Chain A
Amino acid sequence: MSGGVQRDQEFSEFVRARRSRLVGAAYLLCGDRHAAEDLVQTALAKLYAAWPSLHTRGAEDAYVRKILVRTNIDAGRRRWRRELSSDQLPELSMPGPDLDGRDELVRALATLGPGQRRIVVLRYWLDLSIEEVAADLKVSTGTVKSQSSRALELLRTRLTASRIEELTEERA
Chain B
Amino acid sequence: MNEQDLREQMEISVGTDLGQPVVDPAADIARGRRRLRRRRVASGFAAATSVAAVAALGLQFLPAFSGDRTAPPAAGQPMSARDAATAAVVQEVQTQKLSTVVRRHVDPTGAYTVGKREEAFTTKDASKPLGIGALTFTHEWKQDGGVGLLWVSVAYPDHAPARTKWCGPRFTKDLMAVRCFDTKDANGRPVVGGSAGSVANSKGVFYVKSGGQFARYERPDGQVVIIAVLRMKSLKRVADDLPEGVTAPRVTREQLYAAATDPAMTLAEK
A residues contacting B by CB (< 8 A) are 8, 11-12, 15-16, 19-20, 23-24, 27-28, 33, 36, 41, 44-49, 51, 81, 101-106, 120, 124-125, 152, 155-156, 159
Contacts and interface: CB of A to CB of B under 8 A. Distances in A.
B13 A103 contact: yes
Interface of B: 1-3, 6-7, 9-10, 12-14, 16-18, 21, 23, 25-26, 28-29, 31-36, 39, 244
Contacts of B25: 11-12, 15-16, 19
Contacts of B32: 11, 44-49, 51
B9 to A, nearest CB: 5
Interface of B, secondary structure class, is: helix
Given A44-B28, A45-B35, A124 B14 contact: no
Nearest to A8: B29
B56 to A, nearest CB: 30
Given A27-B14, A33-B18, A44-B32, A124 B7 contact: yes
A20 B6 contact: no
A102 B17 contact: yes
Contacts of A11: 25, 28-29, 32
A49 B3 contact: no
A48 B9 contact: no
Interface centre among B28, B34, B244 (most CB of A within 10 A): B28
Contacts of A105: 9-10, 12-13
Contact of B28 (A36, A41, A125): A41
Given A28-B14, A49-B35, A105-B9, A152 B1 contact: yes
B1 A41 contact: no
A15 B32 CA distance: 12
A45 B1 CA distance: 37
